[in-house]
Amino acid sequence: MSLVSSHSPHGQSPLRTVQVLGGGNAGSSAHVRSLASGLVARGVRVTVCAPADADRTYDFSGAGAEHVHVPRSSDPTSVAMLRAACADADLVHAHGLHASFRAVLALSGRRTPLVVTWHDRAQAEGARAHLVRLLERRVVRAASVVLGASSALVDRARSTGARDARLAAVALPGPRREVRAEDPARPKVRAELGAIGRPLLMAVGSLDRHRGYDTLLDASRAWRALDPLPLVAIAGEGPLRAELQQRIEDEALPVRLIGRRDDVSELLAAADLALLTSSWEARSLLAQEALHARVPLIATEVGSMPELVGDAAELVPYGDTRALADVVVRLLGDPERCEELRERGVRQAATWPTEDETVAQVLSVYDELTQARPLI
């Protein structure tokens, strides 16, 4: 198998790819930043089509890619902008459902191969759930290859009509810190959050219904009898902020909403436990960060979480307030079990794909789909 590069054999020109992002998902944006860097290093020309704020956050240009501002909208103007950016692409790679749908519209009538990566499942209920299924069907039937970040996503793509769906190697991008108890940033972060002399429980994610924060707040009532009183800090923004804040104040819950943060690694480094209470997860960034950071993780046993963490986390049923409350109390009183989870986390994280392996797999897919490219 040959991997395409700027020094392609037989006189081929450098491969030109366009990466399409919606810009709203941290996992897919970080993945594209990592992927762009690896592809550029191997001589591939990369254009990233994403909202301007995504480039400011993830610095695709700094990775050597060209950035083209394309709004999140699927209106005709945005689709036309994307179509122009893809005009001379050898291959287009879209990330996430809505970005993939825009790519399908932009490539209408062209023979440009389309690769789609699903990093997570679109969360929707009622009539919108039906619309999501229609969009999924349109996307997977137009895609040459669908890559799923978990086995569940691959199965979903196949059941929706994908002709070629594969499990994707998706690495945790960026530097990985091993957290030490003497980490100098730890006391500073704990002081900022108000967690001096008390346990700090950390949750990260958008303030949306599917994150299960209602259950987390319910469980926090059971910890009010502990001494010292644990503090739950939730990093993220979303439509439920006002509702959650009202509950915290009305019920005097030991919970703080700390807003959207760009220092999640430092927050985890300061935490005693990481909490993940979602109704569904694919390849959770928080779970991966926690295991790499040697922070014991409590997560819901949903989606691909068991596949991702193995025996390196405490798993509880989604929506089970008592189970969540009990396991937090147990871990806070059992340092030996916490240390066992830290060691298992390190071993589990070592089984995950590296950034180089991720780029190599993607390049092999590109190579399959672009064998007949013209000579220079």
Reported as a pLDDT band with limits 50, 70 and 90, residue 124 is: low
Rounded to whole angstroms, the Cα distance separating 57 from 86 reads: 23
pTM of the model: 0.84
Mean pLDDT of the 241-248 span: 97
170: pLDDT strictly greater than 70: yes
Q: What percent of the chain has pLDDT over 70?
A: 91
Number of Cβ within 10 Å of residue 155's Cβ equals 13
Number of Cβ within 10 Å of residue 184's Cβ equals 7
What are the Cα distances from residue 351, in Å, to 169, 173, 236, 312?
A: 11, 15, 29, 12
Helices (H), ranges, 42-150: 52-58, 76-85, 97-106, 126-142
Helix (H, G, I), strand (E, B) or coil at 30: helix
CA dihedral 35, 300, 211, 123 (to 10 degrees): 70
Q: What is the pLDDT of residues 322-351, one digit of tens each?
A: 999 999 999 999 999 999 999 999 999 999
Q: What is the pLDDT of residues 95-118, one digit of tens each?
A: 999 999 999 999 999 999 999 999
Tell me what pLDDT residue 180 has.
Answer: 53
Q: What is the pLDDT of residues 299-325, one digit of tens each?
A: 999 988 999 999 999 999 999 999 999
Mean pLDDT of the 153-179 span: 82
189: pLDDT strictly greater than 60: yes
Tell me what pLDDT residue 228 has.
Answer: 95
Tell me what pLDDT residue 303 has.
Answer: 86
**CA 237 centroid distance within chain:** 16
Q: Give the mean pLDDT of the chain.
A: 90
256: pLDDT strictly greater than 50: yes
Residue 346: closest CA among 302, 288, 304, 300: 288
Tell me what pLDDT residue 122 has.
Answer: 74
Mean pLDDT of the 19-46 span: 89
Query: Where do the domains of the chain lie, and which CATH numbers do they carry?
Result: 9-171+353-369 (3.40.50.2000), 185-349 (3.40.50.2000)
The strand pairing partners of 233, in sequence order, are 202, 256
13 within 8 A of 44, measured Cβ to Cβ: no
Q: What is the pLDDT of residues 276-293, one digit of tens each?
A: 999 988 888 899 999 999
Tell me what pLDDT residue 3 has.
Answer: 45
176: pLDDT strictly greater than 80: no
What are the Cα distances from residue 152, in Å, to 140, 141, 211, 301?
A: 15, 18, 18, 13
Q: What is the pLDDT of residues 193-244, one digit of tens each?
A: 999 999 999 999 999 999 999 999 999 998 988 999 999 999 999 999 999 9
Helices (H), ranges, the chain: 26-41, 52-58, 76-85, 97-106, 126-142, 151-160, 185-193, 213-220, 241-250, 264-270, 285-292, 305-309, 321-332, 335-349, 355-369
Reported as a pLDDT band with limits 50, 70 and 90, residue 373 is: low
Q: What is the pLDDT of residues 12-24, one digit of tens each?
A: 678 999 999 986 6
